[in-house]
Amino acid sequence: MENNSHLDELEAEAIYIIREVAAECEKPVMLYSIGKDSSVMLHLAIKAFYPEKPPFPFLHVNTTWKFREMIEFRDKVAAKYGIEMLEYINQDGVKQGINPFNHGAAYTDIMKTQALKQALNKYGFTAAFGGGRRDEEKSRAKERIFSFRNSAHAWDPKNQRPEMWKLYNTKINKGESIRVFPISNWTEKDIWQYIKRENIDIVPLYFAAERPVVNRDGNLIMVDDERLPLREGEKPEIKSVRFRTLGCYPLTGGVESTAKTLDEIIEETLSAVSSERTSRVIDNEAAGSMERRKREGYF
Amino acid sequence: MKGLLKFITCGSVDDGKSTLIGHILYDAKLLYADQEKALELDSKVGSRSGKIDYSLLLDGLMAEREQGITIDVAYRYFTTDNRSFIVADTPGHEEYTRNMAVGASFADLAVILVDASQGVLVQTRRHARICKLMGIRHFVFAVNKMDLVGYSEDVFNQIKVQIAELAQTHSLSNIQVIPLSATEGDNVTIKSKNIPWYQGPALLEYLENVDTSSSAQEKGFYMPVQRVSRPDRTFRGFQGQIESGTVHVGDVIKSLPSYEKASVKSILYTNKNVDEAHAGEPVTISLDREVDVSRGCVLARDASIGSYKKINASLLWMDDEPLSLGKDYLVKIGTKIIPGALTKIDYAIDVNSGAHLDAESISKNEIAVCELVFAEAIVVDLFEKHKTLGELILIDRVTHATAACGVVEALYEKQVQSQEKAAFVQGDHYGRGEIFEEFFYDTATFSVVKQQPVKQHYTIGDEIPTSGESYHYPDDFDIIILRDSIAVKVRGKRIAEITTTKDFRYGNVPVINGRGFEIKVHSDEDVKRLLREYTDAVDSGCEEFFRKWTVFDTYRKVVIH
């Protein structure tokens, strides 16, 4: 029971934040990335407004390189809850043939950062919920729950608006917007324990299964479709792997694992020797890379 | 296992706060292996090449690493076998005092570092003052760098005396003083052999066991309303987080500031129906009758909370733009946002020495006790009594910056409900005068708000104001106030008769309800049917009833304000 009370506190804090945004912000949206953190955030939104449906739409920014199972799962979840699920793809990027193999950092910028900015501008959203957590990365550890963006969607880490008690100041000027992180204070362990307690559906990729992978620079990359160009000497092998985070399949390394149940995943997570973002290739580029991307408008 | 502990660390520039927390994480093997690798990598490019610099774990912003100081609050999460922790590492520099206050407002306990070779400094006093102001009720003074004074018990005892004096001046409670060395690891996670004369616990052991819950007891039940949920015609629920006490189905509660009473019909704790709910829980409460409740109202029971027009507050100024007397700010208290003006500075407080100073204005990172007058009376209480209703922020109406934060120290000009509200009174007959309410679309909050400008009682013979900004009634009309079972006849703008609805007879003039909406009745039979259906509607939900019988915009409109 004592353990529950810790999760109850985190749940209450998140619900309070979600309700404040719905009550005060003109046009909110909840970003939905299909991952486990998004699944928890969606669940919290459903609980926050019950018996009403969440009074805002959900938005998935699709790079066109997501795992196929993620897209199936997204559509299933939207139908189950009867929520409005918007999808946005940067069509200019698609036309230019931007892909994760030839364009490196530019790919992330064009298909994720630029796409997100375009989507927010297109619909005129003034506040966007994101599933970021402070324990993920050092610059996130410094970010407020209500994080302000200027009209170019840029973050100014040296001049963050003070955030006192639960008195969130949601006022913005025209063109500005807010990113809101209701699960800022959750750790990866909290997320897994809450998923278990609340019986939340998550994408099956989180559970170990036999999957075709190649070992690329130390990352186990899944061959999810025929678009993955194999390098010389690379041959897909069938391995029992699971994914600790989900993103674009060519950029998301799996870990060898036999954890097929939530309990086994929690067990593995608690004794993990590497923090979860190392399996994301983009974070490893250079010291301070996340902060730089956030200043440019990345979530 | 104890519940979550939120604490902050504060100290002056080189007291080694970040090193202390870095050491706890490192020692307790709470670092993931790749974070450890990044730390070693960072240390090589950092200033103290070679030796591991624990502070690099926390100073995450590039500017901070370049300057070697902490600018903003960093939050870290760790769990031991006994407890889960969130620690906010806060900056020590005076110019970042407002960022320190952000961390303090979040925490239940403060770890204040004192350099053993220097003792209690001006900064230590400033940090203690800000922590106390933001409502922290538990303190640990970590006397750090004991290795630099040869682990001397005498030095420690001298500092302990200074701390006791400090605690007395600021009325700090629940104090623990611990001698330690963050760089050497003495008394951080394990008891040090270098300090045998100290009998108390090591820092981590103390944090694992301290109980901060008991100090937060507040009187009664109260819940500021975050939003009104109306998924369909049958359900109307008030959503918010219970701040103190317990509420049960069947309890009679009051809605403030209207003071209307109602019984609790149902309680949802998130998505589950429950019979009772407790402090800290997010709920949706439905009531058994139609009551004026909107965002910013407070549901309460046995809490002795009122509404006031004027308060005194201790403010910490946070904006680059200094305080401007007489200027209108937006004030947020609980879930209410309302315009208010600072009318007087009683005195400023020197953030370091505590001296009271005369002041016309204050600037960023300065503190003053000020008088604040709201546009209308709102539900507010002393910070000491009901914390959530005693915390406030000021928002600049042009830049929207958070100009200041503060806590309520005194309350003035209480709104007394029965006499100040407009009403029709004749002997025992009392009918509420909400027909004089103004409906405004408030462009500051993007919502429709109601205001009652006329605060007077009317009786037979009195002339009433039949026109306001958002209403215009004819000279002859009748009012049926359903909730109070009172009917009023107005002829030539004067009150001709006040009776019960039972004795009311249709008079061939327009009829409005107690809120100024037209009622579609044209005969005594219509009136009878109306009264009968109202009784049923109270049990089954009023929307259908109002749709059928009333028209809002015959005599009323919403005016942009």
The answer, yes or no, to whether residue B59 has pLDDT greater than 70, is: no
- Ranked by mean pLDDT, the top range of A23-27, A295-299, B532-536 is A23-27
For every residue of B26-93, which 3-state class applies, written as one string?
HHCCCCCHHHHHHHHHHHHHCCCCCCCCHHHHCCCCHHHHHHCCCCCCEEEEEECCCCEEEEEECCCC
Which residues make Cβ contacts (< 8 Å) with residue B246, sequence separation at least 6?
Answer: B221, B276, B277, B278, B279
Q: What count of Cα atoms within 13 Å lies in the side-chain half-sphere of residue B88?
A: 29
The answer, yes or no, to whether residue B37 has pLDDT greater than 60, is: no
* Range in A47-51, A202-206, B82-86, B388-392 with the lowest mean pLDDT: B82-86
Tell me: the pLDDT tens digits for B235-292? 899 999 999 999 999 999 999 888 888 999 999 999 999 999 999 999 999 998 888 8
Asked if A156 has any chain B CB less than 8 Å from its own CB, the reply is no
Q: What is the reported pLDDT for A160?
A: 86
Separation of alpha carbons A27 and A123, rounded Å: 9
Q: Which of A22, A47, A134 sits opposite B75 (nearest CB)?
A: A134
Asked if A103 has any chain B CB less than 8 Å from its own CB, the reply is no
Separation of alpha carbons B210 and B351, rounded Å: 29
* Residues in chain A within 8 Å Cβ distance of B317: none
Which residues make Cβ contacts (< 8 Å) with residue B7, sequence separation at least 6?
Answer: B85, B86, B87, B88, B107, B108, B109, B110, B111, B207
Q: What is the reported pLDDT for A285?
A: 44
Distance separating the N- and C-terminal Cα atoms of chain A: 35
Contact B125, B354 (CB under 8 A): yes
Q: What is the reported pLDDT for B66?
A: 54
Choosing among B270, B318, B329, B337, which should be mutated to test the A contact, i.e. which has the most A CBs within 10 A? B270
* Range in A53-57, B35-39, B221-225 with the lowest mean pLDDT: B35-39
Q: Band of the pLDDT at B46, cuts 50, 70, 90?
A: very low
* Range in A185-189, B91-95, B476-480, B543-547 with the lowest mean pLDDT: B91-95
Q: What is the reported pLDDT for B5?
A: 92
Mean pLDDT of the A46-70 span: 94
Q: What is the reported pLDDT for A283?
A: 45
More confident call, A178 vs B122: A178
- Chain A nearest CA to B74, separation (Å): 5
Q: Global pTM?
A: 0.80
Q: Band of the pLDDT at A173, cuts 50, 70, 90?
A: confident
Tell me: the pLDDT tens digits for B503-530? 999 999 999 999 999 999 999 999 999 9
Contact B417, B432 (CB under 8 A): no
Separation of alpha carbons B415 and B496, rounded Å: 30
The answer, yes or no, to whether residue B454 has pLDDT greater than 70, is: no
Separation of alpha carbons A231 and B357, rounded Å: 73
Q: What is the reported pLDDT for B147?
A: 92
Q: What is the reported pLDDT for A68?
A: 93
Question: Buried b vs exposed e over B446-455: b needs ≥16 C-beta within 10 Å?
Answer: eeebebbebe
Asked if A3 has any chain B CB less than 8 Å from its own CB, the reply is yes
Q: What is the reported pLDDT for B395?
A: 96
Q: Which of B98, B229, B391 sits opposite A49 (nearest CB)?
A: B229
Element (H, E) at A216: strand A209-216
Q: What is the reported pLDDT for A83?
A: 95
Q: What is the reported pLDDT for A40?
A: 97
Mean pLDDT of the B395-411 span: 94
Average predicted confidence (pLDDT) for chain A: 87
Q: What is the reported pLDDT for A19?
A: 98
More confident call, A282 vs B27: B27
Separation of alpha carbons A60 and B154, rounded Å: 63
- Chain A nearest CA to B280, separation (Å): 7
What percentage of chain B carries pLDDT values higher than 90? 54
CB contact under 8 Å between B393 and A164, yes or no, is yes
Which residues make Cβ contacts (< 8 Å) with residue B214, sequence separation at least 6?
Answer: none
- The token pair that represents B317 in the structure block: 């100024």
Mean pLDDT of the B166-182 span: 91
Q: Band of the pLDDT at B452, cuts 50, 70, 90?
A: confident
More confident call, B36 vs B112: B112
Report CA A119 to chain centroid distance, whole Å: 16
Q: What is the reported pLDDT for B291?
A: 84
Asked if A138 has any chain B CB less than 8 Å from its own CB, the reply is yes
More confident call, B288 vs B96: B288
- Residue type, position B49, single letter: S
The answer, yes or no, to whether residue B48 has pLDDT greater than 50, is: no
Mean pLDDT of the B535-558 span: 84
Contact B179, B163 (CB under 8 A): no
Eight-class DSSP state of A252:
B
* Residues in chain B within 8 Å Cβ distance of A166: 388
Separation of alpha carbons B139 and B173, rounded Å: 7
Separation of alpha carbons B508 and B525, rounded Å: 13
What percentage of chain A carries pLDDT values higher than 90? 55
Q: What is the reported pLDDT for B394?
A: 96
- Chain B nearest CA to A216, separation (Å): 19
More confident call, B224 vs B468: B224
Contact B131, B112 (CB under 8 A): yes
* Range in A95-109, B190-204, B319-333, B465-479 with the lowest mean pLDDT: A95-109
Tell me: the pLDDT tens digits for B179-231? 999 888 899 988 999 999 999 999 999 999 998 876 567 889 999 999 999 98
Nearest 5°: the CA angle B313, B319, B324 is 60
Average predicted confidence (pLDDT) for chain B: 86
Q: What is the ipTM of this complex?
A: 0.88
Which chain B residue's Cα is nearest to A5?
A: B3
Q: Band of the pLDDT at B318, cuts 50, 70, 90?
A: very high
Residues 247-286 of A with CB under 8 A from B: 272-275, 278
* Range in B173-182, B356-365, B408-417 with the lowest mean pLDDT: B408-417
Asked if A293 has any chain B CB less than 8 Å from its own CB, the reply is no
The answer, yes or no, to whether residue A25 has pLDDT greater than 60, is: yes
* Residues in chain A within 8 Å Cβ distance of B30: none
Which value, to the nearest 10 degrees, does the dihedral of the CA atoms of residues B54, B56, B59, B62 take?
170
